[in-house]
Structure 1
Amino acid sequence: MRDQQPAPVPARAPEPTHGGRRISTREAADLLGVKPETVYAYVSRGRLSSRSTPGGRGSTFDPEEVAALARRNRREPAESTPAAGKLSVRTRITLIDGNRYYFRGVDATELAAHHSYEEVAEWLWTGVLRPGVTFTAPAASVEVARRAVDSLPEHTGPTDRLRVAAVAAATADPLRFDLSEEAVLGTARTLIPTLVAALPPKWHDRRDDGPLAHRLWVRLSGREPSEASLRALDAALALLVDHDLAASTLAVRVAASARAHAYAAVSAGLGVLEGPLHGAASGLAHRMLLDVLDHGTAVPVIADELRAGRRVPGLGHRVYSGEDPRARALFALLEEIPDAAPALAAARDVVSTTARHAPLHANVDLALAVLTASSGMHASAGETIFVVARTAGWIAHILEEYGESPLRMRPSGHYVGETPPRPLPER
């Protein structure tokens, strides 16, 4: 209620004067100018770390950490409380604002328009652009990843292949438990090209050097790429690098909070990504576009989707009220590719047909489906592109999370079960 606000934060947070000893919950609350319950809320949300006192009847806190939090509270707007039911994580990586998004404060679509995927990844990791940078993988890492992927059944999906490649690459890296920034950046620059190199090629060109987009193309399409096609693929990778706390990214941060090494944290993201509401969404849009091309119109295809109670793939996004900026940027590049014209027309037909009933805009999954369907790629190619691209974003979040207090991603459950204590169940 409005009349039950916590005590105001002092205008100037006092410096700790406790002779190096840890302080009690009451002392921490006094320093912060809040109630003891709020101190525990800070702990559950990862803003403070605590230790149990001997006997486990209370908690102690680092006075310097408490003072630092008090200073931050004066500078930052209040975050959502646990009662609000919304997890909030401070990040300097990606901002989504209206119908635009930014990487470290720079418009992401502009970055993708002027820089390669590798350059955008470096910007996301370090805040520094490295013109002309390319990622290469050690031969030993590629060898073990290829052997592992080649042993999988032929019907194995792309995310399974990439997950196995990531685990295999980890086994080839005895220094994977080094969580320093320099070591993790080294892992990032070799893991991504290893994932690409582990995929079987579609034709004779199994190159492992040059721009990453070209190396990925030959593993997704059996056609010779045009410059415009490679540019579209490279831009798609750059546009998809990160998108704030998507489900897979949150999983990665949870793993990093527990100090899992980078390969393991990436594997956590891969486990979440495989759902049809996340990384696999473009495959559904790809198949829909092929159906529209077969019918010559979107009307019966959309009707079948709605009749089956399914949402139309590639339309709408929970964080954008208008068109997904990633879709807009990718569609503009696809218009420069003559072979993409039929799929582009089919996509526009889908949007206009659906707009008669619901004001939904195209999202990046539909644009990605145009790219894959017009390039002779399998429906699962969009998922592969998504995984390779997003791995760079996951690394950025891993690095950021390693700089936070460990195990802070520990929300409290809201128990709604039977009231204890209950009698022991009978056999």
Structure 2
Amino acid sequence: MTDQGQGPRDQEPRDQEPRDQEPTGGARLTTHEAAERLGVKPATLYAYVSRGQLSSRREPGGRGSTFDADDIDALIRRNRREPLRRTDAAHEIRTGVTLIDGDRCWFRGVDAVELARSHHYEEIADWLWTGELRTGIRFTAPPPVLAAARRAVDSLPPGSGSADRLRVAAIAAAVMDPLRFDLGRDTVLTAARMLIPTLVDALPEAGPGPERVRPARSGPAEEPITAQTAEEPIAARLWRRLTAKAPDEPSLRALDLALSLLIDHDLAASTLAVRVAASARAHPYAVVSAGLGALEGPLHGAASGLAHRMLAEVLERGSAAAVVADHLRAGRRVPGLGQRLYTGRDPRAEALFEALARIPAARAALDAVRAVEAATARRMELHANVDLALAALSVASGMAAEAGETVFAVARTAGWIAHALEEYGERPLRLRPTGHYTGPRPPVPLPTPTPSPYPAPR
């Protein structure tokens, strides 16, 4: 669930050059010139190409690739987090939700780590929306809405992932809300307080065994929302959906802390998708669906699953060095390391590691994390990010690899709503950039038709 990915200190892939991509135009730089301008080695330069951050082309008769100078300069600005010029982006998005500065994360000017340590997820989410901190607040899904969401989730084929279930649950909840197109602040807040528990309670409870078999429910009457369930915090209800292991208080506190810390993180990819949808005046359920779609990429919400599998392999093989070496040999990044928005350590990860240190069952996972950091430090200095901390929680708690993605999605829903509320107050459709066309200059002759490879319909 890396929000921005690794920065200019990314580890270098194998030395083979990746397949060249299409150019974007402008002055061209040689490989040496481009690498020198970025201040990196050629191998790192080609790593940017393989990740889609740069484009390159091989000149006819040339021995090496060339790079667009404007692309190189834009990457330098992104890596340094310099303010974008007006020509670089259609709009600057102003937000009062999150500030990342001085290697700390602030929610509406309040230290996010201190806030997460002092209050529960629902309290922080509601405060982020309203500016009023109400202790003991609980979010509850209305029974008809929850029943519809559960039926939709249960209709999915076997093998459906948690991201699939969450998207389907959000759609079902939207259909059940006749006021979803009312974008008034109070109506949106009511929808948000219903949607988050619906997403959680619509998920099947985790079954026994390492495979976590999830038996189909016979009907909406199962797992009813009782008065006792409604008084449970989101963390306790989500725990039962992630693992069959009985929770203890420190474990539930760690999960609640993770939810609170992950509520928002500036304009990550999914948050930008949410702002664009809200700018088009999509209703809050559709806004959350847009965020869930962007979240599923391996460089964002699914990043913790990769880190989970790596930690599990370290514990199985008993050697972090061997696992790290395998990743580097294959030209892959080591999952869960590096966060380009922080020059030092990710404060969210450090807070979660501190909470996990109070759980005896998490000791092996934490040892594996430190071993991975130490093994990687022999080549580059990269610290554990929140993805790796979330992976340590999921591994120690007997959760599936995708559990971190579920935690991330539920947590970030609150932040998406906060950004949607901001965007609803802006001019509609303001987030409509103009494309920089790089195709053939018109007029171009009509393409020559070719026979279809598919049989004609009868």
Q: TM-score under structure 1 normalisation?
A: 0.80
Secondary structure of 1:101's aligned partner: strand
1:374 aligns with 2:378: no
Alignment of 1:299-310 (within 5 A): 299-310=321-332
Residue 411 (structure 2) aligns with:
389
CA distance in 1, matches of 2:207, 2:164: 21
CA deviations on 1:159-180 (whole Å, 9 max, x unpaired) are 1110000001101111100100
1:96 aligns with 2:100: yes
CA distance in 1, matches of 2:172, 2:89: 38
Alignment root-mean-square deviation, CA: 1.6
* Counterpart residue identity of residue 412, structure 2: R
Alignment of 1:344-355 (within 5 A): 344-355=366-377
Secondary structure of 2:241's aligned partner: coil
Residue 421 (structure 2) aligns with:
399
Q: 1:221 aligns with which of 228, 243, 252?
A: 243
CA distance in 2, matches of 1:314, 1:348: 12
* Counterpart residue identity of residue 84, structure 2: S
CA deviations on 1:88-139 (whole Å, 9 max, x unpaired) are 2100100011310100000000100000000110121112111110100100
1:143 aligns with 2:165: no
CA deviations on 1:276-307 (whole Å, 9 max, x unpaired) are 00000000000100110011120110011111
CA distance in 2, matches of 1:251, 1:341: 37
Q: 1:257 aligns with which of 279, 286, 289?
A: 279
CA distance in 1, matches of 2:248, 2:118: 18
Secondary structure of 2:429's aligned partner: coil
1:125 aligns with 2:147: no
Secondary structure of 2:105's aligned partner: strand
Contact kept in structure 2, 1:285 and 1:369, CA below 8 Å:
yes
Q: 2:316 aligns with which of 294, 311, 315?
A: 294
CA distance in 1, matches of 2:92, 2:423: 13
Residue 56 (structure 1) aligns with:
none
Q: 2:87 aligns with which of 83, 87, 97?
A: 83
Contact kept in structure 2, 1:79 and 1:88, CA below 8 Å:
no
CA distance in 2, matches of 1:79, 1:293: 43
CA deviations on 1:6-31 (whole Å, 9 max, x unpaired) are xxxxxxxxxxxxxxxxxxxxxxxxxx
Contact kept in structure 2, 1:80 and 1:87, CA below 8 Å:
no
CA distance in 1, matches of 2:207, 2:385: 31
CA deviations on 1:165-213 (whole Å, 9 max, x unpaired) are 0001101111100100000000000000000010001259946421110
CA distance in 2, matches of 1:310, 1:400: 38
Q: 1:415 aligns with which of 437, 448, 456?
A: 437
Contact kept in structure 1, 2:149 and 2:172, CA below 8 Å:
yes
Residue 3 (structure 1) aligns with:
none
Q: Which has the higher contact order (CA 8 A, sep 6+)?
A: 2
Q: 2:362 aligns with which of 340, 348, 364?
A: 340
Contact kept in structure 1, 2:324 and 2:334, CA below 8 Å:
yes
Residue 279 (structure 1) aligns with:
301
**Quick one: structure 1 residues 86 and 304, their matched pair in 2 at CA, closer, same or farther if it must change by over 3 Å?**
farther
Q: 1:116 aligns with which of 106, 117, 120?
A: 120
Residue 159 (structure 1) aligns with:
163
**Quick one: structure 1 residues 86 and 258, their matched pair in 2 at CA, closer, same or farther if it must change by over 3 Å?**
closer
Secondary structure of 2:274's aligned partner: helix
Residue 453 (structure 2) aligns with:
none
Residue 62 (structure 1) aligns with:
none
- Once the two structures are TM-superposed, the CA of residue 83 in structure 1 deviates from its matched residue by 2.0
Q: 1:176 aligns with which of 160, 163, 180?
A: 180
CA distance in 2, matches of 1:363, 1:98: 16
CA distance in 2, matches of 1:171, 1:122: 24
1:193 aligns with 2:215: no
CA distance in 2, matches of 1:163, 1:422: 42
CA distance in 2, matches of 1:318, 1:376: 30
**What runs of 5+ residues in structure 1 fail to find an aligned partner?**
1-77
CA distance in 1, matches of 2:330, 2:126: 44
CA deviations on 1:252-272 (whole Å, 9 max, x unpaired) are 110000000000011011111
CA distance in 1, matches of 2:90, 2:374: 35
CA distance in 2, matches of 1:218, 1:182: 31
Identity of aligned residues (%): 65
Q: TM-score under structure 2 normalisation?
A: 0.75
- Report the number of matched residues: 350
Secondary structure of 1:96's aligned partner: strand
Q: 1:314 aligns with which of 321, 326, 336?
A: 336
**Quick one: structure 1 residues 335 and 251, their matched pair in 2 at CA, closer, same or farther if it must change by over 3 Å?**
same
Secondary structure of 1:314's aligned partner: coil
**Quick one: structure 1 residues 87 and 329, their matched pair in 2 at CA, closer, same or farther if it must change by over 3 Å?**
farther
CA distance in 1, matches of 2:445, 2:240: 63
- Once the two structures are TM-superposed, the CA of residue 87 in structure 1 deviates from its matched residue by 5.3
* Counterpart residue identity of residue 224, structure 1: A
- Once the two structures are TM-superposed, the CA of residue 317 in structure 1 deviates from its matched residue by 1.0
Contact kept in structure 1, 2:269 and 2:294, CA below 8 Å:
yes
CA distance in 2, matches of 1:154, 1:329: 36
- Once the two structures are TM-superposed, the CA of residue 84 in structure 1 deviates from its matched residue by 3.3
CA distance in 2, matches of 1:425, 1:144: 49
* Counterpart residue identity of residue 191, structure 1: L
Largest Rg, 1 or 2: 1
* Counterpart residue identity of residue 102, structure 2: G
